[in-house]
Structure 1
Amino acid sequence: MYSYEDRIRAVELYIKLGKRIAATIRQLGYPTKNALKSWHREYERCHDLPARYVRSRPKYSAEQKKAAVEHYLNHGHCLAGTLRALGYPGRETLAAWVDELHPEARKCVVGKAVGAPQPRELKQAAVIELCTREESARVVAQKIGVSRPTLYNWKNKLLGREVPALMKRHNDSPQAPERADLERQVESLRRNIRQLQLEHDILKKANELLKKDLGVDLQLLTNREKTLLVDALKQTYALPELLAELGLARSSYFYHRARLRVSDKYADVRRAITNIFELNHRCYGYRRVRAALVRQQVFLSEKVVRRLMKQERLAVATTRRRRYGSYLGEISPAPENIINRDFQAAAPNEKWLTDITEFQIPAGKVYLSPVIDCFDGLVVSWSIGTRPDAELVNTMLDAAIETVANSDERPVVHSDRGAHYRWPGWLSRMRDAKLIRSMSRKGCSPDNAACEGFFGRLKTELFYPRDWQAITIEQFIAVVDSYIRWYNEKRIKISLGSLSPREYRESLGLAA
């Protein structure tokens, strides 16, 4: 959007230079060839330009509008793909159409680094009280201290959406026999589902521990291999269930279990190492695994830990190299690069870094915008959505400002030169919160290396090793949100003395 003065200056220079388009654009640095021609035609017609620049928009029929939105929804929620396929409209127009016709297609999750997630035991107790309640669900939610939608969300995750939220029987109802028959059918279906889940978990564990194919015949496994599978799953399923499914006698199980314990003095350590590796997104190398073992009062050398991990085939996924590219355009003056690649901070909330990264999964594209504290790498706030627009970065900045609203801390906020950090909404929020702006040099991603490093760790540990073929956008957003919370609360950083960012702050007596 150019002001009246900018447009009239361009037209006058264009006429002065003999209507040479290239020379005019080269001297001013703006606008485009077509824009300059349009301004000149308007100037010749009216001998002036309108005070406000109005961009003409083509007219589209309702059928074209509906066809464009359906193509967007059916082809991976990709704006660029729809524009290439149909040739119309513009990116902003298509986004507005999607918001108008299908507002539910826009997904966004905003989080900030305050508090810890509720323990699973509390969620289970809350769901039990919800299903056996005498009063309303709102009263139950108020007792626990959460909102009513949160309570129902816990119920859906633990029991499934098909399970009713009130399971009390009403024997005085005239339909009591039909209800009892339906409940018996539901219970039968649950048993069948549990049996299928048991078979699936056994095959999956056989693939992980024994390196067998997912279609392996369980009866062809040796008793020793079956014992390993039972030990791996007995925390989830009852021992009789596992023995019956694998066709393993109880005496044979205890015999091979005793032999395995005698033959391998590191049997318990192997299980502990496997649990640490699996519970931490399969991204811990031998140094972090050893640090986690020390927390459990298990002391081994790095060489032993590395050897055991190699024997168990616990390897961290390697980074996939991608070709570097950057847009070099400038749309407004940029502030000074105050950070100047000095990503060290003596205290929290001195230097913040931010950027946007993209995840492309089969269901569509998802974007993450975090704020990283240079003091210890804590993710101060973050927002996850399906569009890299102003709302994505503005909601993230609002959440970050809330964390320092009651203090005198005014951090430097460093970013690249993207348009997201030059829009009026971002600038007004920075000005109102009295934060200091800092920007990287043009097309120089190493100037924001610490934030890029966080993206690299996230994708190496979470995104690249997994198959997202059957994952929806909502599920993927929840997985990324859960990873960031784990990153703040539990992920070990060797540079912080084998502590997570939150644990490090607590050890220093600082509020996280």
Structure 2
Amino acid sequence: MAAKISYTSDFKENAVQLSYDRKNVNDASRELDISPKLLSKWRTVYRKFENGSFPGRGRKRVYYEDRRIFELEKELLQSQLKLEILKKGINFIGQGKHALYNYIHENKHLYPIGMMCEVLGASTSTYNLWTQKPVSKSEARVSLLKESITSVFYEFKQHYGAVRITRELHKQGFSISEGQVSFYMNQLGLRSKFKKKRKVTTDSKHNLYTSPNMLNRQFKTDKPSKIWVSDITYIQIEKRFLYLTVIIDLYDRKVVGWNIGSALSSKTTTLPAWKMAIQNRKVKDGLIFHSDRGVQYANKLFTTTLDASKCVRSMSRKGDSLDNAVSESFFNSLKRELIYIQPRLLTPGEIRIEINDYIENWYNKKRRHAALNYRSIEEFNAEE
């Protein structure tokens, strides 16, 4: 008995195409040395399934369009899976071999190991060796440090640089230098947000009395409510601006008073900020209140308010922003850490919520201040 001949899928499809080029099935079958009956059978199948006619042994015939849709859906599912792997694992790519392979190992029940290695640029064979080889104490320590640095960086909304992250790690019990943190941050690709220039809002072109610079850039004091500094900045929102006024106590750098107004009058800037400040912290006789020469600070309504509390008025020299450097620094931080990172211009309601959260929950409580030896305001006051 002659052995049954097995034809490949490509041969069958090419045979059908050849049969359409010849005069009839018999001519094509003689040329291919197959039976006309078999070729006719292939043609019948091809008319029904076209390119899906000959899928191979053990595979079900499907209409070509159905198979293509299936393949596209499969490709889409794989792409979505790869994107999911990348989003979850991207932070581990720069953290070293141990951190990356540990992430792959912990997620092997969720994703194929080969796919994770491909997406994250890891070697499958090296991963297999890693699972068999114990991690050294040195590698484990470096991996832990990198994971902790990354955790602190994102916990504090990408605002912290190496110095503040180092102080936070010291608080958590790590022994590490600023240089090491900076080195690992570079490896991990962690960069704190950049700052932009701010627009000047001071209107000093007036004939009102301006006080001398009593502060004279002495930005440290030994007691609360001894020196307060204040300034105003603009915040751009949808179609217009709002104006943020702050009052800061130089003792602990706490924002004791603030207000957001829609205009630059004293009633919408300095007066409500002052009202909040005296509610939050008791005013002492002789308190130095320092500001720029803006009309909001120099007008009679506000100066009378300060005089009633027996404050000593102090103003920066004309055009010298360094005379009020602490307020300037606060606004730089606020815009760098909050305003400039917004994906769009916020509404008035949204910006009020964001600024309230930034000042009351972040700046006054958690943020580490260089002037306080990188302690938070709460830590500083608890230790004094």
TM-score range for the pair, normalised by the shorter chain length:
0.5 to 0.7
Select which of 129, 145, 153 maps to 1:277.
153
Q: Is the 8 A contact 2:204 2:294 kept in 1?
A: no
Select which of 334, 338, 352 maps to 1:458.
334
CA RMSD in angstroms, aligned pairs only: 3.8
Calculate the TM-score normalised by the size of structure 2: 0.63
Distance 1:474 1:260 in 2: 56
Select which of 402, 411, 420 maps to 2:287.
411
1:479: which partner in 2?
354
Instruction: Say if 1:373 and 1:323 are closer, same or farther in 2 by CA, change over 3 A.
Output: closer
List aligned pairs for 1:77-476, cutoff 5 A.
205=88, 228=103, 244=110, 246=111, 262=135, 264-265=139-140, 266-321=142-197, 327-362=203-238, 364-389=240-265, 390-405=267-282, 408-464=284-340, 466-469=341-344, 471-476=346-351
Shift of 1:243: 5.5
C-alpha offsets along residues 56-76 of structure 1, whole Å, 9 cap, x if unaligned? xxxxxxxxxxxxxxxxxxxxx
Q: Is the 8 A contact 1:226 1:248 kept in 2?
A: no
List aligned pairs for 1:51-66, cutoff 5 A.
none
Q: Is the 8 A contact 2:199 2:234 kept in 1?
A: no
- Aligned residue for 1:372, secondary structure, equals strand
Higher relative contact order (CA 8 A, sep 6+): 1
Q: Is the 8 A contact 1:355 1:415 kept in 2?
A: yes
Distance 1:386 1:361 in 2: 11
- Aligned residue for 1:262, secondary structure, equals coil
Letter aligned with residue 347 of structure 1: K
Shift of 1:403: 3.1
2:31: which partner in 1?
none
Shift of 1:498: 2.9
Distance 1:314 1:304 in 2: 13
C-alpha offsets along residues 359-418 of structure 1, whole Å, 9 cap, x if unaligned? 22456433221111122322112223443332232111001112344x645421111121
- Alignment gaps of 5+ in structure 2: 1-80, 118-126
Distance 1:226 1:302 in 2: 27
Instruction: Say if 1:494 and 1:414 are closer, same or farther in 2 by CA, change over 3 A.
Output: closer
Shift of 1:507: 0.3
Instruction: Say if 1:457 and 1:473 are closer, same or farther in 2 by CA, change over 3 A.
Output: same
Instruction: Say if 1:367 and 1:262 are closer, same or farther in 2 by CA, change over 3 A.
Output: farther
Number of equivalenced pairs:
285
Instruction: Say if 1:227 and 1:200 are closer, same or farther in 2 by CA, change over 3 A.
Output: same
Calculate the TM-score normalised by the size of structure 1: 0.48
Q: Percent identity?
A: 29
Instruction: Say if 1:443 and 1:330 are closer, same or farther in 2 by CA, change over 3 A.
Output: farther
Letter aligned with residue 479 of structure 1: E
Q: Is the 8 A contact 1:413 1:437 kept in 2?
A: yes
1:177: which partner in 2?
none
Instruction: Say if 1:421 and 1:259 are closer, same or farther in 2 by CA, change over 3 A.
Output: farther
Distance 2:376 2:252 in 1: 9
Distance 2:130 2:239 in 1: 44
- Aligned residue for 2:263, secondary structure, equals coil
Instruction: Say if 1:288 and 1:388 are closer, same or farther in 2 by CA, change over 3 A.
Output: same
Instruction: Say if 1:440 and 1:303 are closer, same or farther in 2 by CA, change over 3 A.
Output: closer
2:6: which partner in 1?
none
